[in-house]
Structure 1
């Protein structure tokens, strides 16, 4: 189903509010991705409400968020929807004395609804399709950080949409796939021959299977099918096992966050680079949010010690997904 509100210029989706449709679309994409409420274009909405006493724009925002069919199918968390509607009501009340029944009705509908341990985030692709993901409402859940989408994954997905040739017709292996945002976006938009999602945590693997089914991707244990989900232990996996996977392209997002796993990760990357398939070494791309410069510097030092070189790549050109673009994210390509 096509969920995009209109055919706006790609850059207007995430970089600024130019008109009513642009503003409504910004509210829609931010709402479904559960962005911080402070990032919404509230100032632009207040100006619009002061200039036009008609409730039309508020009704349209409501229709494209809480009342949208995508919200009925894959809703953001209950707490998030309450906070969003509360803020929408507050902005409305600050500019007019006339109540808007539809806003209060929508708020009343979720007032007594219980919060679930999981929620959905949805991201709109340029094609109009929505990538919807079941995620944990907690950043760290069941002993892992892999049950939520991180900004480096969004950045890598955007870069993939700008560089279709890296994935088209190829077998792609993703390390630490998490909830699957990057992989689903690539499968939907980049036409890989085969895509292998991988992780080692049982809860993450279970969530991956669920999210593949949610997005209509075929998941099976047969290595010849288009999409597979694999358990991959970085420490114990053998070169023969990696060679069986037959990856032409290897990607990973936000896997450099814990000094304790860097040695294990670099060991895996070294095996992959030395594991030629039909005489060709795979291309490896790593997207990292640099939260701790010391940890990231340690990662690069370990790469050097293993004889692995890297090239820093330019980030995505076309903004597609809503996330904090001031975050320090680096994308590198590895080679021997």
Structure 2
């Protein structure tokens, strides 16, 4: 392969990485800036703008205003450091971003291997309105990556997601795995409102897709009748074991789900957690054991599909009744 063709191929790969990182609002310091050579910087910046701030997806589902400003300012700094000729499109894009008012909400988009994107309306702040459920957390990204690698686990199944948050994993399952039914659930009013918006903007409206539901589900008050009405044979949850009290409520709910499960189809439960506090996480596992629920760690490697940092350990476990394990 000629040198120019190799460089073109390399730049294409880098542009894809930049696009994924930009729409997921990954930290700018993690972008692969150093692979770009100065003699091709001006042309690359124009191509990069077309894949980020000038991409049609950015017009419809833009990252936060502050993030776009920082991104464009970084591009200008690198262009000026390389003594490249000024690029009108770059300064026009920055002027446009400077003229937009900042809001407490933004969009993040995550590209599937197919090239399609899941776009989510999220809050800019990690904690807002008294909840952490208005942003996408690392365990949801990891679980979605595992889902994409194990689509057969969800095909034709009735799936209940506990603590759906803004909806990444559930939307990924609905878009990629052809479940028979999918029930998103949460208990916080603001989270449920944003969850419904995200389900709809990804083409999964409850009105157009009867197999998709968004339910309010309070773990502390859910009755056996409610659980039987849901009628799931697969249960998933991500980043829900962050507080001892919440973990205790989750274990009690899981016991009810297991007790109400149909004997016709074996119930499968998967819980994915970012282990930020080992003591809290170990306490959750002890409560499971006390409640007669065993677990198995799903230890197979999960390839990175989305741009995020796995700084803290992430663990996915499958749950069983003790006699089933």
> TM-score of the superposition, structure 1-length normalised?
0.90
Could you tell me which runs of 5 or more consecutive residues in structure 2 were left unpaired when the two chains were aligned: 1-8
Q: RCO (CA 8 Å, sep 6+): is it higher in 1 or 2? A: 1
After TM superposition, give the deviation of residue 187 of structure 1 in Å: 0.4
For the pair 1:41 / 2:32, whether they are aligned, the reply is yes
For the pair 1:176 / 2:163, whether they are aligned, the reply is yes
The 1:105–1:181 alpha-carbon spacing in structure 2 relative to 1, beyond 3 Å, is same
For the pair 1:25 / 2:10, whether they are aligned, the reply is no
Aligned residue for 1:267?
252
| 2:42/2:85 contact within 8 Å kept | no
Could you tell me which runs of 5 or more consecutive residues in structure 1 were left unpaired when the two chains were aligned: 1-17
Aligned residue for 1:165?
152
Aligned residue for 1:214?
201
Aligned residue for 2:5?
none
What SS is found at the alignment partner of 2:159?
Answer: strand
Post-superposition CA distance 1:51-103 (Å, at most 9, x none): x2461111000110000000000000000000011111111111124222221
CA RMSD of aligned residues (A): 1.5
| 1:34/1:80 contact within 8 Å kept | yes
| 1:218/1:226 contact within 8 Å kept | no
After TM superposition, give the deviation of residue 326 of structure 1 in Å: 3.7
Q: Number of aligned pairs? A: 313
| 1:159/1:317 contact within 8 Å kept | yes
Tell me which of 74, 93, 100 is aligned to 1:106: 93
Tell me which of 140, 145, 150 is aligned to 2:132: 145
1-structure distance, mates of 2:300, 2:110: 19
Post-superposition CA distance 1:32-59 (Å, at most 9, x none): 01111111101112xx2x2x24611110
Runs of 4+ in 1 over 4 A off after TM superposition: none
> TM-score of the superposition, structure 2-length normalised?
0.93
Post-superposition CA distance 1:186-233 (Å, at most 9, x none): 10001101100000001111111111111111215x9x9210000001
